[in-house]
Amino acid sequence: MKPDMFEAPDYYNIDELLTEEHKLVRDAARSWVKREVSPIIETHAQQATFPTSIIQGLAGIGAFGPYIPPEYGGAGLDQISYGLIMQEIERGDSGVRSTASVQSSLVMYPIWKYGSEAQRKKYLPKLASGEYMGCFGLTEPDHGSNPAGMTTHFKDAGDHYLLNGAKLWISNAPFAQIAVVWAKDESGRIHGLIVERGMEGFSTPETHNKWSLRASATGELIFDNVKVPKDHILPGRSGLGAPLSCLDSARYGIAWGAIGAAMDCYDTALRYAKERIQFDKPIAGTQLQQKKLAEMITEITKAQLLAWRLGVLRDQGKATSAQISMAKRNNVAMAITIAREARQVLGGMGITGEYSIMRHMMNLESVITYEGTHDIHLLITGMDITGIAAFK
């Protein structure tokens, strides 16, 4: 792969909206990605392996629990800093950002928000340092967009719960030490349970042959009469709103992350277009390529403003789930469109692993599907503005 020459576009001087701390956090993540992710990521994506060597580095830049309080090992940062970290990581690779999103928003967040004090103390510092990796089991083979229909269930068996069922498409599953699993009790109420690797009857087979997020490990969670100690239930909240509130945090991070992938595609295409000579002049001097590049920077700028404003609202505790849906949907669609256009700017070179664009493009096919599909987020916006749910 070519050396990482990335220069971040900032067409509307958005840096002026950031504090010194935001810029420090962002720049530390940016340098780390250049140094540690860019040189190895293409090989991992080609070989479909997760780069375990970067786990410590992710912890070092505060990517595991950026907004979790320091008393539990988190970085204690605000939501804009969290977003900027996700942006920089996804600039490197969406699969690496996935690993950080799951660890922070889908594992640490529910334990912090809905766990007991003993669970917080037991798990959060280890998750923040990367000693433990976690995964989040909501989706099932027959229930993806409609998690309310889940069939994974547990029953009271005296001094423990007995858990049965299966989860599919679970990021980090093949190597995670713990899984936050959503399952129904005997009355059909959804609860979160912390399941540990090594519990009898719990297995995590890997899902192979993905053309997307190849540097992220994806798998199943299978529960065959797993005895889960009673103190492994998250006591703070039950019902579908509990996992959905975790998704709010992860979807917010994706709204920023997608900007990173788009910026990398734009920056690569711009540099290539200025250097590539056809018909005796740089292709950047042709109207057709300028149209592509001008539209890319316009859409990136709009997405940056959307994410920044959403971050401010989240820091004020005012962001709604529907506002988060809009940003996730818009920014991921923006990124995938830019990736497709940027790939064309590079002509044949665009399909090779010499450049990051095709990898981003394939990764974004997962990003536009997980954490709520493009369609589901449109329906969430539709429900918000009309008051009528059109899911069913």
Q: Can you give the binding site for ligand FAD, defined by CB under 6 A?
A: 102, 135-139, 144-145, 169-171, 213, 218, 366, 369-371, 373, 375-376, 391
State how far Cα 336 lies from the chain centre.
15
148 binds, among ligand FAD, ligand TGC, none (CB under 5 to 8 A by kind): ligand TGC
> Virtual CA dihedral for 88, 93, 96, 97, nearest 10 degrees?
50
The answer to whether 73 contacts ligand TGC (rule: CB under 6 A) is: no
HSE of 352 in the Cβ direction (CA atoms, 13 Å)? 8
Known active-site residue 88:
no
Residue 319 CB neighbours (<10 A): 19
Residue closest to ligand FAD, measured at CB: 144
User: What residues numbered 210-249 form the site for ligand TGC, per CB under 6 A?
Assistant: 239-241, 244-245, 247-248
Candidate segments 29-37, 139-147, 198-206, 267-275, binder of ligand TGC by CB under 6 A: 139-147
Q: Tell me the pairing of strands 277-278 and 153-156.
A: unpaired
Contact 249, 319 (CB under 8 A): no
Q: Indicate the residue among 100 and 283 with the shorter CB distance to ligand TGC.
A: 100
Minimum CB distance to ligand FAD, residue 379 (Å): 6
User: What residues numbered 154-193 form the site for ligand TGC, per CB under 6 A?
Assistant: 171
x/- site string to ligand TGC, residues 5 to 34, per CB under 6 A?
A: ------------------------------
Among 140, 299, 341, 371, which one carries the catalytic annotation?
371
The CA distances from residue 189 to 144, 186, 215, in Å, are: 18, 7, 35
CA-closest candidate to residue 14, choices 290, 265, 256: 256
Beta-sheet strands, E only, within the chain: 134-137, 153-156, 160-171, 178-184, 190-196, 202-203, 218-229, 277-278, 281-282
Distance in angstroms (rounded) separating the CA atoms of residues 338 and 361? 9
Determine the size of the site formed for ligand TGC (CB under 6 A).
Answer: 26
User: What residues numbered 119-138 form the site for ligand TGC, per CB under 6 A?
Assistant: 136, 138
Amino acid 227 reads: K
375 binds, among ligand FAD, ligand TGC, none (CB under 5 to 8 A by kind): ligand FAD
Q: Indicate the residue among 84 and 297 with the shorter CB distance to ligand TGC.
A: 84
Which distant-in-sequence residues (6+ apart) come within 8 Å of 153 by Cβ? 163, 164, 165, 183, 184, 185, 186
The answer to whether 148 contacts ligand TGC (rule: CB under 6 A) is: yes
Which residue in 60, 125, 147, 236 binds ligand TGC (CB under 6 A)?
147
Distance in angstroms (rounded) separating the CA atoms of residues 45 and 336? 18
The answer to whether 313 contacts ligand TGC (rule: CB under 6 A) is: no
257 binds, among ligand TGC, ligand FAD, none (CB under 5 to 8 A by kind): none
Known catalytic residues are 371
